[in-house]
Structure 1
């Protein structure tokens, strides 16, 4: 019989935190690979900007489609076996990349991404309640910040690894270089480029399977059983809808994940259009600023900074940085030269720098919204968690909206206005939405 973890037991939280930290690194590695994958597949599959951003749609829509089914599976299997199932599903998704790379067939790439997202859905549904429940509620954002730090550290590493393994001599596959080739020669070149994905995804499959074995033998306790049972009944979903802070929290996460993915996954495309030579690793810039934000969260929450104030500041800075993206120069590189150019890090145009800075504004939104949204739910916590996970659909819808605006207007910079209403809603939730205890105006 598996040991059940008490939410108030602090002495038994270290091992689960370490294990969940490993899982969050995997989350980050798989998730933020998309930022480098989008411009790569745009070349390989000869896509326009809107089509290329179907990568984020296929990956993140899995969270909406699969959140409740995966929560039901979680109730049947328990948290530990549910995590194991999630890793195995992800391994299947990684394997699908092999025939996709060999055929360079875009729909198969999208199916592989959807499968990876489905596996991540059950892992996210299982791990986030752990972080909220295994310690004091007022420091939940700090614990999630620690996991976010691990997640985004992976986001810094993965574009560099991807560039080293796949993107060497990428200049020979530029639109200009391919345009002078015959159709046959161009297809041979693109097939060669696509085949470079095989080895990295073989490695990813092996790592996921080894991690599944590790989870199987790991001393990972269960959360109290009644937490998991609640999500299996439609009646509890209806009951959870009576909590405004939860429902509005789902919308806030929808907005947040959308702007987070736009900041992390479009920066490479945007940089490429502006002629930035190192566009393939620009996701690392956004992730680096997110890591700084998470470090601040770990150091400041809750001792110096409340979860609510952290969310308010995040929304305000998000609005300011979004305006910077839209109106800053696309030629001057003065801001990045001042910020990190003196360290030898390649500089970027000021507008791209503000896209990266969005990582700093976004860092503490996820950690702050979770405890605020789940406050007072009691035995509905598992149901609320599944609903919050569905908010990740913002990562599917909003980047696609950005891609549509950029493609139809012909101006990628102005298309970033889609960020503004998202940050405005997060600002509303930070100041008022999370305080609503009833839909009644009384």
Structure 2
């Protein structure tokens, strides 16, 4: 009992600190759902252009993930987290000149820089919480982090939507078209200026969290071998010796893609696809995040005591397929509800995919984690493909959601078979 109590105590402070980080990048990630309609109005964008908000944020993971693993080899996890937060603060400050010039490309640059910091932060924090205790209960720990992340995700559109999307009827394209060019530009400049103060506050918050981590007693874990000796890599010579890791990478890529569609594209679909006013659609992402919170809470209760990580992933993938079909064929607001409920189906996926993919990587932990972080780029590619399908007159926005079905089908494959392929040495 004393030993167990001591172990729990030693995990408590690191878990709280990592939970804070998950809250931080949950807020800054899911605020994109509000930035999409906001920048669409402020910069006069088409839906296909507006979705580049998510593209710029998530493509940074593909660019930076492996460099992040190299950085972490020199800095360790703790200093890597600090560096990631400082880079994110820099990206947030880029929003100041972006707002003053009302240049969409500068906004995208800021989002990309924030994404670079997030890639470094996620490369450090995700394996950290996974190996900070028994691998069998990793899904439960990640579910707790998910609550921090999606709790922030639920708050982000409520807070930022109130600030950025207030009175958006005045910025409707029809009303702007009736104004003289100078009057229209002055009105749009006022709209763009709304974003400056929130992102200055966000940048300051990043710096404060970085300072807190610097002065914390957060232990610096080097490799999984140091904490889980039973997970030694034996005679494997590279990450190419782990087929299940690569299948996990594809699974994570597809999962993040469908998660971003359910969380970020839901506002775009509600407004541009179904004609629902922005005053109503600005809350849709919060509904998705609340559904995810419910899924995470259920996962904490059930995993691994009642069901395994892989079983939870199977059930979630099947539910994802069913709800996707509901999105495609349900009318109006019922389609939105099915899309929001995908948050519930998606909730167990990251907590299950991550530990199933990195279990047993040993000295290849950082490289394997970096590969999985590259998979987050699915949040850039899959929603972009959805907008391309949506733009087709023969498909349309609602039927473009057929894209979700094969994504969930592959996740189901990984849950049933893929996560076992090559897991035992010699297979």
Question: What does 1:36-435 correspond to in 2, within 5 Å?
Answer: 36-224=34-222, 239-273=238-272, 274-277=274-277, 278-330=280-332, 349-409=333-393, 411-435=396-420
* 1:55–1:110 Cα contact (<8 Å) kept: yes
Q: Name the residue aligned to 1:3.
A: none
In structure 2, how many angstroms separate the alpha carbons of the residues matched to 1:389 and 1:381? 12
In structure 2, how many angstroms separate the alpha carbons of the residues matched to 1:28 and 1:116? 12
In structure 2, how many angstroms separate the alpha carbons of the residues matched to 1:166 and 1:124? 27
Q: Deviations over 1:39-88 (max 9, x none)?
A: 11111111111111111111001001000111111111111111100000
By how many angstroms is 1:257 displaced? Answer: 0.2
In structure 2, how many angstroms separate the alpha carbons of the residues matched to 1:269 and 1:226? 42
- Count the aligned residue pairs: 410
In structure 2, how many angstroms separate the alpha carbons of the residues matched to 1:46 and 1:237? 53
In structure 1, how many angstroms separate the alpha carbons of the residues matched to 2:402 and 2:181? 38
* 1:89–1:118 Cα contact (<8 Å) kept: yes
User: TM-score w.r.t. structure 1 length?
Assistant: 0.90
Q: Deviations over 1:86-145 (max 9, x none)?
A: 000000000001110111101101110000000011110111111111111111000000
> Structure 2 unaligned runs (5+)?
1-5, 227-234
CA RMSD of aligned residues (A): 1.9
SS of the equivalent of 1:128 reads: helix
By how many angstroms is 1:242 displaced? Answer: 1.6
Runs of 4+ in 1 over 4 A off after TM superposition: 225-228, 438-442
In structure 1, how many angstroms separate the alpha carbons of the residues matched to 2:424 and 2:373? 22
* 1:242–1:439 Cα contact (<8 Å) kept: no
* 1:39–1:269 Cα contact (<8 Å) kept: yes
* 1:310–1:364 Cα contact (<8 Å) kept: yes
* 1:322–1:419 Cα contact (<8 Å) kept: yes
**CA separation of 1:309 and 1:438: change in aligned 2, threshold 3 A:** closer
In structure 1, how many angstroms separate the alpha carbons of the residues matched to 2:286 and 2:174? 26
In structure 2, how many angstroms separate the alpha carbons of the residues matched to 1:134 and 1:68? 22
Deviates more, 1:383-392 or 1:179-188: 179-188
In structure 2, how many angstroms separate the alpha carbons of the residues matched to 1:12 and 1:401? 45
* 2:295–2:347 Cα contact (<8 Å) kept: yes
* 2:224–2:362 Cα contact (<8 Å) kept: no
**CA separation of 1:192 and 1:246: change in aligned 2, threshold 3 A:** same
By how many angstroms is 1:255 displaced? Answer: 0.3
Q: Deviations over 1:288-311 (max 9, x none)?
A: 100000000111111112101100
Q: Deviations over 1:267-302 (max 9, x none)?
A: 101111223231122110110100000000111111
> Structure 1 unaligned runs (5+)?
1-7, 229-235, 331-348
